[in-house]
A and B are shown apart, each in its own frame.
Chain A
Amino acid sequence: MKINIKHIAKLANLHISDEEGKKFEKQLSEILNYVNQLNSVDTKNVEITSQITDLENVTREDKTSPSLSQEEALSNTKSKHNGLFKVKKVL
């Protein structure tokens, strides 16, 4: 399977060198080949599902619970300004 490593790196927001690109391309191909072994399993009588927990309808009532304080919310970042997270300009 052909892998477009530059595209994948971009989607993952990662900057990688050409050298790294070659390395990861090889590794990802190997992983895909490994997972592809699943294609040999006969799934004719297996029901399609998007999950394996068997759980359904796990919901909550529309009730509020306490939130973090502003200080707590911002406690993991050094980049802040007037109670807001601060990042490099986007757009």
Chain B
Amino acid sequence: MKAVIGLEVHIELKTKSKMFCGCSADYFGQKPNTHTCPVCLGLPGALPVPNKKAIEWCSMLGMALNCDIPLFSKFDRKNYFYPDLAKGYQISQYDEPFCLKGSINLESGKTIGITRVHMEEDTGKLIHQAIDGQDVTLIDFNRSGVPLVEIVTEPDFDNAKDVVDYLKKLQQIARYLDISNADMEKGDMRLEPNISIRKAGEAGLPNYKVEVKNINSFKFVEKSINYEIDRQTKILNEDKTPIQETRGWDENKQKTVTQRVKEEASDYRYFPEPDIPPIRWTKSEIDKLRSTLPELPQEKISRFQKQYNLSLYDTTILTEDLTTSEYFETAATAGARKISPKQIANVMINKKINIDEILPAKLIEEVTISSKKINISEEELLEAVRKILKTNPKIAQDYKKGKDSVVQFAIGQVMYIMKKKIDTEILRKLIIEELK
């Protein structure tokens, strides 16, 4: 048996204004219903006009995921009733999205197919609460209409580890492109894995799938996938078929729980959005947009390996985020001819230095000093210690009497004749060893 997993990820863009109106998209922590207008409240007669920047960012994300960018694209209405959607439909993209057929390479060596990357609008926020003993739902439309990009993969995953790797890479790409903070806790990035199990000897996709929603961390996605694989395998081993349903992760119970059983296939009655004329790119516009793509994580890793002669392990850590990679490059430039990039990398990775506090130049200074310390061999040091102890017999005498403070004096003497800064801890150990 083998797991068959696909992913839908929603990423909220950090544009200034919303997708189809001029309301501020910066809704986090704002007073409810203060960022709305007739368009994002879905009032009759309002006319949505798409945000050009959002379309460009969506397309750039597609480019970064090796997608085809069709010259022609359009918006569609996805119709359904739910209170978070005032219009009764969501403006999304159906059959002609901005980006199609991409791919991404994972650490495991596997390539995952990207089915599509499309543009849509976020919905209002629902708060479920009891007021005067009555269960009600409260709605804040500040989030309604904020640009949302949906990235859909092929069902190419077969384990949770690869899924987490994919999600981290996607988050990293969004941050490199500077199109989203992709902060899971703030809901900038939302994950929906769908999981099923293919029985041994069976071809094609299983005849059911289970979707897990409302997961707000990479750890929970891993746990819920592993839980689902176990749960579904047990059901299949009893010769039954798991129910097609939507489940949610319950961190307290450490399991997925049923949220909604789908009785029938969804019927969204998509049709072309009559209020928004289609989008048509020229080849040169797409080329121009492509030329604005920054260096992406994979490219930076290759360059760092070549330019600074670093291992894949080191470069992967140094390129995790832009702040770290920029810090490293500044330090490498500042330290040129004094210390090697590898030494800088070692310090940054092993000593876990706080790059917000120590300036790159200061770091170089410290690394230069500590590298001189390393340059003295143990024999050399031991020789010096013996010499000091021989010429100052009082040190040994005092030490035997219990005057530990003489060790400090000996350290100073050794440093004096070595004319170098030496790691005092190593030196202290050596002196005490000799004194015993």
| Chain A contact residues, CB within 8 Å of chain B | 7, 11, 13, 50-51, 53, 55-70, 73-74, 76, 81-91
Contacts and interface: CB of A to CB of B under 8 A. Distances in A.
B22 A60 contact: yes
A87 B139 contact: yes
Given A7-B267, A64-B22, A68-B38, 6 more contacts: A62-B15, A73-B33, A81-B136, A83-B31, A86-B138, A90-B83
A22 B51 CA distance: 45
Contacts, number: 128
Interface in B13-59: 15-17, 21-24, 31-38, 41, 43, 49-55
A56 B277 contact: yes
Contacts of A81: 131, 136, 138
B336 interface: no
B280 interface: yes
B50 A60 contact: yes
Nearest to B26: A64
Contacts of B74: 50-51
Nearest to A71: B33
Contact of A67 (B24, B82, B277): B24
Residues of B contacting A: mostly: loop
A61 B17 CA distance: 9
Residues of A contacting B: mostly: loop
A67 B23 contact: yes
Contacts of B82: 90
B32 A83 contact: yes
A64 to B, nearest CB: 5
B135 interface: yes
Given A11-B269, A62-B15, A70-B33, A56 B138 contact: no
A61 B53 contact: yes
A78 to B, nearest CB: 14
A74 B41 CA distance: 10
Interface size class of B (residues with CB under 8 A): 35 or more
B86 to A, nearest CB: 9
Q: Which 9 A-B pairs have the closest CB atoms?
A: A65-B22, A50-B272, A62-B53, A55-B277, A84-B138, A89-B135, A59-B52, A85-B139, A73-B33
A60 B52 contact: yes
A87 B50 contact: no
26 contacts: A13-B81, A55-B277, A56-B280, A59-B51, A59-B55, A60-B49, A62-B17, A62-B52, A64-B22, A67-B34, A67-B37, A69-B34, A70-B31, A73-B34, A81-B131, A82-B32, A83-B31, A84-B32, A84-B33, A84-B140, A86-B131, A86-B138, A87-B137, A87-B139, A88-B137, A89-B137
Interface in B78-121: 79, 81-83, 88
Contacts of A69: 34
B37 A68 contact: yes
Contacts of B257: none
B41 A73 contact: yes
B34 A70 contact: yes
Contact of A85 (B22, B24, B33, B280): B33
The interface centre, meaning the residue of B33, B43, B50, B279 with most chain A CB atoms within 10 A of its CB, is: B33
A64 B23 contact: yes
Given A84-B140, A85-B138, A86-B136, A62 B16 contact: yes
A66 B17 CA distance: 10
